[in-house]
Amino acid sequence: MSESSFNLISEKCDILSILCDHPENRIYQRKIQELSKRFSALRKTKGDGNCFYRALGYSYLESLIGNSREILRFKERVLQTPKDLLAAGFEEHKFRNFFNAFYSLVEMVEKDGSVSNLLKVFNDQSFSDRIVQFLRLLTSAFIKNRADFFRHFIDEEMDVKDFCAQEVEPMATECDHVQITALSQALNIPLQVEYVDEMDTALNHHVFSEAACPSVYLLYKTSHYNILYATDKVG
């Protein structure tokens, strides 16, 4: 499936289908074969600099379908996020539209429970980008509100406020460990990232937050994130 054959998030496909992406790369081929023992499928995301936020948002909301207890818990958390944004110095009129879009999507998942409708919404560029912008602002707010902690993980030449203004809030800016940690904690979403970059010959992964049981699995390669689906054997 080529990137041009889908909009922002693809239909689910067999994980081995991406072997053809890099047929000459033996390390990549071996890692995907290894992953196929623990993951059965994936969805591709568009490489537009927003792939992490879009992948996390879609995958977690999809995982909530049919789980009314978790949806209620998540709704309560989302309803608290305007306070976090205000505490970080964001003016309400600058985030209210993005918050409303995200909250309406959570309500849709609760009432509708349709994977096809959720996918349709995430592939609507305008609506999907509002979701991404909300997640970016929330990530920024979480970092700012815990500046004493996060400043240790940011380039010494840049303060927390500048980091958020340049590396978190603008659309199409790629994310790193700091942003992933912040957003997963801000929304209490445990996720596991599988790394298949050429930087290491061994397959490795990281769980955010440690010791948590992941609700979301993402595949990382060369600054890009796709959505993974675990088999029953994945612990």
Compute the mean pLDDT over every residue in the chain, rounded to the nearest whole number.
93
Q: Please check whether residue 223 lies inside any domain of the structure.
A: yes
Q: Would you place residue 235 in the very low, low, confident or very high pLDDT band (cuts 50, 70, 90)?
A: very low
Residue 59 amino acid letter? S
Task: Sort 108 into a burial class: Cβ within 10 Å, 0-12 / 13-18 / 19+.
Answer: middle
Q: Please check whether residue 205 lies inside any domain of the structure.
A: yes
Domain span at 46: 9-230
Question: Which residue, 27, 2, 3, 9, is CA-closest to 218?
Answer: 9
The larger pLDDT score, comparing residue 25 to residue 159, is at: 159
Q: Please check whether residue 235 lies inside any domain of the structure.
A: no
In this predicted structure, what is the pLDDT of residue 45? 97
The per-residue pLDDT for range 140-184, each reduced to its tens digit, is 999 999 999 999 999 888 999 999 999 999 999 999 999 999 999
Domain of residue 95, CATH code = 1.20.1300.20
The per-residue pLDDT for range 204-227, each reduced to its tens digit, is 999 998 767 999 999 999 899 999
Q: Please check whether residue 1 lies inside any domain of the structure.
A: no
The per-residue pLDDT for range 58-84, each reduced to its tens digit, is 999 999 999 999 999 999 999 999 999
CA distances from 19 to 24, 51, 120, 196, 197 (A): 10, 20, 27, 12, 14
> pLDDT over 90 for what percent of the chain?
85
Q: Please check whether residue 70 lies inside any domain of the structure.
A: yes
Which residues are identified as catalytic? 48, 51, 224
Contact 52, 104 (CB under 8 A): no
CB atoms within 10 A of CB 215: 19
Would the pLDDT of 199 be above 90?
A: no
Contact 222, 209 (CB under 8 A): no
Q: Please check whether residue 162 lies inside any domain of the structure.
A: yes
Tally of domains within the chain: 1
User: What does the alpha-carbon distance between residue 159 and residue 50 come to, in Å, rounded to a whole number?
Assistant: 23
User: What does the alpha-carbon distance between residue 145 and residue 89 come to, in Å, rounded to a whole number?
Assistant: 9
Would the pLDDT of 233 be above 60?
A: no
Indicate yes or no: pTM above 0.85: yes
Rg (CA), the chain: 17
Q: Please check whether residue 44 lies inside any domain of the structure.
A: yes
In this predicted structure, what is the pLDDT of residue 178? 97
Residues 6+ apart with CB under 8 A from 38: 230, 231, 233, 234
Q: Please check whether residue 13 lies inside any domain of the structure.
A: yes
User: What does the alpha-carbon distance between residue 231 and residue 39 come to, in Å, rounded to a whole number?
Assistant: 5
The per-residue pLDDT for range 92-141, each reduced to its tens digit, is 999 999 999 999 999 999 999 899 999 999 999 999 999 999 999 999 99
Q: Would you place residue 1 in the very low, low, confident or very high pLDDT band (cuts 50, 70, 90)?
A: very low
User: What does the alpha-carbon distance between residue 62 and residue 105 come to, in Å, rounded to a whole number?
Assistant: 11
Contact 156, 92 (CB under 8 A): no
Would the pLDDT of 24 be above 60?
A: yes
In this predicted structure, what is the pLDDT of residue 40? 96
Mean pLDDT of 191-196: 95
How many C-alpha atoms does 159 have within 13 Å on its Cβ side? Answer: 2
